[in-house]
Chains A and B, each alone.
Chain A
Amino acid sequence: MELPVISNAAPEAEGGGCSSSGCGTAPDALSHLPDHIRSKVQDHPCYSEEAHHYFARMHVAVAPACNIQCNYCNRKYDCSNESRPGVVSELMSPDQAVKKTLAVAAAIPQMTVLGIAGPGDPLANPERTFETFRQLSEQAPDIKLCVSTNGLSLPESVDELAKHNIDHVTITINCVDPEIGAQIYPWIFWENKRIRGVEGARILIEQQQKGLEMLTSRGILVKVNSVMIPGVNDQHLKEVSKVVKAKGAFLHNVMPLIAEAEHGTYYGIMGQREPTPLELQELQDACAGDMSMMRHCRQCRADAVGLLGEDRGEEFTLDKIDEMEVDYAAAMVERAKVHDAITAELDMKRALKAAPKFDPDAIDEGPVTRNIRIAVATKGGGVINEHFGHAHEFLVYEIGPKEHRFLGHRKCTPYCMGDESCGDGETVLGGIIRSLEGVEVLLASKIGFEPWADLEKAGIQPNGEHAMEPIEEAIRAVYDEMAAAGKLAQPAVARAAA
């Protein structure tokens, strides 16, 4: 039997400037950043937890080649049924990618970011990658360009990246110790040879670290991605976090290993286990003392389109975009209007948060109430607007008497995808409940009668009363109501494992 974890409050440092002023806002993972960096990332859905509710991104799959092998990757990347990094449905030429980007940007004005992330390594395909960037920076100057790399070819690409005005780069760094690296990377291709084992890992690590330093010294923002592999690099990632922060990375994104036998990856076939959501959170918390952590990553496909967590790629396949006529000049005007409206809304929300509030605790030290975790179902816009049965994921927040923080998302199979799959509802619900381990309240715009009862039985209180309300206001209202009813004075009753 596991006790619900309620004591792993974030280290003091994460509270940012808010904790002492009692303003009650979530410590934004980016709040410690200087203004000039924050302004660069505040409309980037992959970097800003706030922005990911409002702005969309897309990836174009122009970079199929790779120069290393990772044990969590299978190079047979062509699959339409899987949603994970390194997987695409169609490979594109730079010209096709540009056409697709313009079509998507016209149709989805919230799209602010175009990334190249594979399915191989963008910098192992420099001609295709940079040709795409060159055309887009000319034709669509209002789109931010970014790139994600394993780092092996990074040092030789830094000049070219700077030339195309790319101000965000993500490097996947899973280790700084070659002995650990040898358990993650079976080989790299380096100076015309395949180099295996510790030697290969040593070169890769050296290039990653050199590339990181070169980028940050030029003022290019670097986010570091790490894949958490239990028993291989999970403890080591705390060290990685320290090292990359010292070298100027502004954000660290620790992601869980995805390893299933049917993916055909080394880890999948060898039975390497994935971390549980709680293990991931604990590691993210442990690393958070050293630098700002990212918790909203959805580990999207290398050809994803739309808001994080959604994929509208099907609407923009090559044959469909061939038939689209895009007037990008007109689209750019429309896009600017939409971006301005979103920015105004966000500014207003920030101003409201920053305003002084009545703080009853300052007068009366009431009974101390404990922190709880609340899951919410949303499809974007920062409000509770998704039915329980349709949710592909739940966002999990931890909330206490004064503060709350976003912990991450829990992916799941939707309870009900329509008539055909409803019969599977029973088993699917078990999976959802397991994925919500540690959560005590679930907010959705609507929750059906049957899952309601099972959720309650599992110790998760469903709640549909806050439909269409902003997430942060709703979780605060729920918390305050529970606190007033005296439900939060005691440690939670231990819940039987689902």
Chain B
Amino acid sequence: MSLEIVDSCVGCYACEPLCPNKAISAVMQPGEPLFFINPDKCTECLGDHDLPQCAEICPIEGAIVDEYGEALNPLGSLTGIPLHLLEQLRESECRQ
């Protein structure tokens, strides 16, 4: 049982200090998601908190998924932006 951070993570560090198991660390490898949850340490916060802390503070919809690949914060759940507008946004995102 472990959560996973996927590549939409923006690397904001908000989750890292909250993890009761110190399972979260920054990844410095290009091509990998910016943060990594060690599956051997992650308990999804069972016994420590009512809800997984990383997903509670994460500002990015879809960036944290469970073992079935389901997003804990699905699209539209954090910003309230309607889904069809989110689609349009993807095409015109600010590029570096």
Chain A positions within 8 Å of B, measured between CB atoms, are 64-67, 69, 71, 75-82, 91, 120, 124-125, 127, 186-187, 189, 192-194, 261-264, 266, 269-270
- B contact residues around A82 at 8 Å (CB): 94
- A contact residues around B96 at 8 Å (CB): 78-80
Q: Does B80 contact A (CB under 8 A)?
A: yes
Whether A120 lies near B14 (C-beta < 8 A) is: yes
CB<8 Å pairs between A and B, sample of 24: A64-B14, A65-B14, A65-B57, A66-B12, A66-B14, A66-B59, A67-B14, A67-B57, A69-B59, A69-B79, A75-B60, A76-B93, A77-B10, A120-B13, A124-B14, A189-B14, A189-B56, A192-B18, A192-B56, A193-B51, A264-B89, A266-B80, A269-B81, A269-B86
- B contact residues around A269 at 8 Å (CB): 81, 85-86, 88-89
- A contact residues around B92 at 8 Å (CB): 261-262
Whole-angstrom CA separation of A326 from B3 in the bound complex: 45
| Residue among B49, B53, B59, B78 with max Cβ neighbours from chain A (10 Å) | B59
Whether B78 lies near A76 (C-beta < 8 A) is: no
- A contact residues around B10 at 8 Å (CB): 75-78
Whole-angstrom CA separation of A193 from B86 in the bound complex: 25
Whole-angstrom CA separation of A187 from B18 in the bound complex: 18
Chain B proximity of A244: nearest CB distance (Å):
27
B13 partner, pick from A79, A125, A261, A262, beta carbons under 8 A: A125
Q: Does B50 contact A (CB under 8 A)?
A: yes
Closest to A186 in B: B80
- B contact residues around A69 at 8 Å (CB): 59, 78-79
Q: Which of B68-91 contact A (CB under 8 A)?
A: 78-81, 85-86, 88-89
Whether B13 lies near A187 (C-beta < 8 A) is: no
- A contact residues around B59 at 8 Å (CB): 66, 69, 75
For the complex of A and B, list the 5 residue pairs with the smallest distance between their C-beta atoms, beginning with the closest: A65-B14, A75-B59, A64-B12, A189-B57, A79-B94
- A contact residues around B50 at 8 Å (CB): 192-193
Whole-angstrom CA separation of A175 from B83 in the bound complex: 28
Chain B proximity of A90: nearest CB distance (Å):
11
